Amino acid sequence: MTEQLDALADEIWGYAETGFLEEKSAHAMIEVLKQNGFTVETGIADMPTAYLAVYGSGSPVISFLCEYDALYSMNQKADADRHDPITSSDDTGHGCGHHLLGTGSIYAAILYKNKLQEQHLSGTIKVFGCPAEESGSGKAYLARSGLMEDTDIALTWHPSNYNQVVTGSSQSCISVFYRFHGVSSHAAGCPELGRSALDACELMNVGVNYLREHMTSLERVHYAYLNAGGKAPNVIPSEAVLKYFIRSDTNPHCMSLYKRVNAIAEGAAMMTGTSVEILFDEGLSNTVTSNTVEQVLAQSFRRLGPGTFTEEELAYAQKYRNTADEKQIIDTLPQFAVNRSQLEEEVHHSPINISFVENTHSDLCEMGSTDVGDISWIVPTGQINTACYSFGAGAHTWQWVAQGKSSIAHKGYQKAGEILADAAFTFHEHPELIAQAKEELRQKLHGEVYKCLIPDEIKPHVSTVE
């Protein structure tokens, strides 16, 4: 069966389709799921490249989450040991390993299905094809659609340099455009007639930079100019556009910070005699951790152990390990690792992580956001990482694209599939763990109800530069 899935991962690597454009990738995954006995519905939650594959019936309902979108500016030849883009193709590549992610989650679902079949057990298995993780907030729309609500436990994973159970929370994030409208005029001849949209952008950014002093340390705001008003200094620009990411540790905090940034935008418009349109783009919820699910995943990881590699594979990994400096690797080791010094030793002696990295459970909010966060508000959710790549360069690098079709990468998704399937079966055998995970989630929400950050009128879309 793994030959079919290795081929699927390689096929998706080759398509390298970006968020909401993953037609061929989704089709290839759906075919494999159908061949393995799943019934598939496509286009769920208003997303043409999303799908839901179902097998079985009754309790429990265990869902596996797939991703399969690629990144722009990540074009790279497989197995090359230097940055070597493929010529005459588009600029996309699987720099985050989502070709493995989707395939590994499908493998988990098939292994779990086989186990239920062998033992003549009932239970519902769902595989959610979740598009547009890198940009697009696919899982936020999925969470908003209500389709996750009958799921008891959601399991997923992410390709990595490490073998570990993911812990720690992530930030809520709102992505928004501020488009200023002014009046153009000759900047020397009649400046008094002009109202500069660029001035408004600059004053808004200055205002936000003063706001930073009055934000918590768990908050971040960053911006980019999408339209700085043109190239001519002697024309007062009438149009200018900023894109902002506004992040905080929880959804209510993020909404509150968003309102403060909006007030600054309106203030900048007032100061410059311009007007501002506030165009909501995307929203991601913070992650609610599940210690219960993490414990079950850790138990499966210990039981099955991390992947093992041949001499040839270790030599292959060494090529990529050599592209990073050791200090950089040590500085970015998993922060919740129980035995950090042992891991540092391993970095000295192995080009790839061959041990299971035990982590201490954490609810700390780490800087950065993921759309898994939205799912975690509704369903107890757990994630693992497996080593699919050498020590060294992390996600969104040419090194990850280059290693993406190697036997190491294949072993990584297979190991993830085995561990997730084993954890799913543990929940099947122990419904009290499902009840415990649900109670933990209820307590961690402190009475807050999931409210997607994305307003109802915003539908799934490819984020465009305006």
Min dist CB 325 to Zn ion, Å, is 23
In the bound state with Zn ion, the residue whose beta carbon lies nearer, of 70 and 110, is 70
Spatial distance between the Cα atoms of 92 and 49, rounded to a whole number of angstroms: 17
Please say whether the beta carbons of 379 and 152 come within 8 A.
yes
Min dist CB 159 to Zn ion, Å, is 8
In the bound state with Zn ion, the residue whose beta carbon lies nearer, of 96 and 154, is 96
- HEC string of 115-172 equals HHHHCCCCEEEEEEECCCCCCCCHHHHHHHHCCCCCCCEEEEEEEECCCEECCCEECE
Helix axis angle for 23-35 and 2-15, nearest 10°, is 170
Query: What does the block give as tokens for 280?
Result: 């909501």
Min dist CB 464 to Zn ion, Å, is 20
Cis peptide before 60 (omega within 30 of 0): yes
In the bound state with Zn ion, the residue whose beta carbon lies nearer, of 67 and 199, is 67
Min dist CB 240 to Zn ion, Å, is 29
In the bound state with Zn ion, the residue whose beta carbon lies nearer, of 124 and 397, is 397
Place of tokens 């649900």: 438
In the bound state with Zn ion, the residue whose beta carbon lies nearer, of 116 and 402, is 402
In the bound state with Zn ion, the residue whose beta carbon lies nearer, of 100 and 236, is 100
Min dist CB 72 to Zn ion, Å, is 12
Min dist CB 95 to Zn ion, Å, is 7
Of all residues in this chain, which one has the CB nearest to Zn ion in the complex? 96
Min dist CB 225 to Zn ion, Å, is 24
In the bound state with Zn ion, the residue whose beta carbon lies nearer, of 178 and 245, is 245
Cα–Cα distances (Å) from 286 to 77, 158, 269, 360, 371, in that order, read 35, 17, 31, 20, 8
User: What number of CA atoms fall less than 13 Å from residue 67's CA on the CB side?
Assistant: 28
Spatial distance between the Cα atoms of 117 and 54, rounded to a whole number of angstroms: 14
List contacts with Zn ion (CB under 5 A). Answer: 96
For the beta sheet containing 172-181, the strands, ordered from the edge strand earlier in sequence to the opposite edge, are 220-227, 239-248, 172-181, 275-284
Query: Which string of DSSP letters, residue by residue, matches 82-109?
Result: S--PPTTS-SEE-TT-HHHHHHHHHHHH
